[in-house]
Amino acid sequence: MMFAFSKRQIYYAIVGLLVAVALYFLLYQSSASDVEKKVINTNGPDAFINDVVYTELSPNGQTKTLFTSTKVTHYPNDTSDMANPSMVVYDAKDMSAPPWKITSRYGQMRDKNKVVYLWDHVKLHRDAGKNNQATTFTTSALTYYPKRHYAETDRPVTIVQSGGSKLTAIGMHANLQTGSVKFLSQARGMYMPDQLPGLDGGDQDAHKST
């Protein structure tokens, strides 16, 4: 048996099919767009602050840490990216001792701010005090644990102290509170005094030791 369709019936059938396809396409695009927005919102930052200044106090009201950053960006996974971070860390046992100043171009805080990753021109400096020489550490990347005042890196590191001593190594573990430092490998020292007796500055020879 054969059915004969009029031109009007064929026309409405085609229009209905096109409408169905169009509706399906629009619904699919809307659903895909919603999913994409959810992904972007999940991975993107949820807050940021410019020109941050934060002071952490000890139980007796003394400054423990002074933190600054030109911009802090927070993410939903509880990490925070930092631009030009700076931390001034004071010795809780001796507030008269010079503090450590830790700086870098970039940084990130993780694990509820228990771990701080720093990279690009990382520098740790402490001015001279009655019980310590002026000391400067420089490296390309470093991990710092604020609660323990502990710093570590597996990158090349250079240490310069007042009086002319200089040391290079690959990798370092340092306790900033006790002053103990452990170098992992290839440690080499050099002593270049500011002024040797009886010689002008231009005639000085470097005294090296390994």
For 40-54, how does the pLDDT look when each residue is reduced to its tens digit (9 = 90+)?
Answer: 345 788 899 999 999
The total number of structural domains in the chain stands at: 2
Residues 108 and 90 in one domain: yes
Does residue 79 sit in the same domain as residue 52? yes
Same domain, 37 and 53: no
Q: Are residues 107 and 16 in the same domain?
A: no
> What letter does residue 43 receive in the DSSP assignment?
H
Dump strand ranges (E) for 86-195: 86-89, 100-103, 106-110, 115-126, 135-145, 150-161, 165-175, 181-191
* Burial status of residue 59 (CB atoms within 10 A of its CB: 0-12, 13-18, 19 or more): exposed
Residue with tokens 């050099």: 190
Q: How confident is the model at residue 4 (pLDDT cuts 50, 70, 90)?
A: low
149 with 178, same domain? Answer: yes
**Intra-chain end-to-end CA distance of the chain, in Å:** 103
Alpha-carbon gap, residue 155 to 25, rounded angstroms? 53
Q: How far apart are CA 81 and CA 202, in angstroms?
A: 46
Contacts of 32 (CB under 8 A, 6+ apart): none
In a domain, 210, yes or no: no
Q: Which two tokens stand for residue 116?
A: 């701080």
Between CA 28 and CA 34 the distance in angstroms is 10
Domain co-membership, 172 together with 191: yes
Q: What is the 3-state secondary structure (H, E, C) of 117-142?
A: EEEEEEEEEECCECCECCEEEEEEEE
For residue 179, being part of any structural domain is answered with: yes
**Residues 96, 81 within the same domain:** yes
Q: Are residues 86 and 185 in the same domain?
A: yes
pLDDT of residue 58: 83
Tell me the residue length of the chain: 210
pLDDT of residue 163: 82
Full domain range(s) for residue 17: 1-43
Considering the domain boundaries, does residue 70 fall inside one? yes
Cβ atoms of residues 140 and 124 within 8 Å: no
pLDDT in tens, 100-154: 999 999 999 998 889 999 999 999 999 998 888 999 999 999 999 999 999 999 9
Q: Are residues 95 and 6 in the same domain?
A: no
Do 61 and 150 belong to one domain? yes
Whether 32 and 51 share a structural domain? no
- Asked whether 102 and 86 are in contact (CB, 8 A), the reply is yes
The answer to whether position 26 is within a domain reads yes
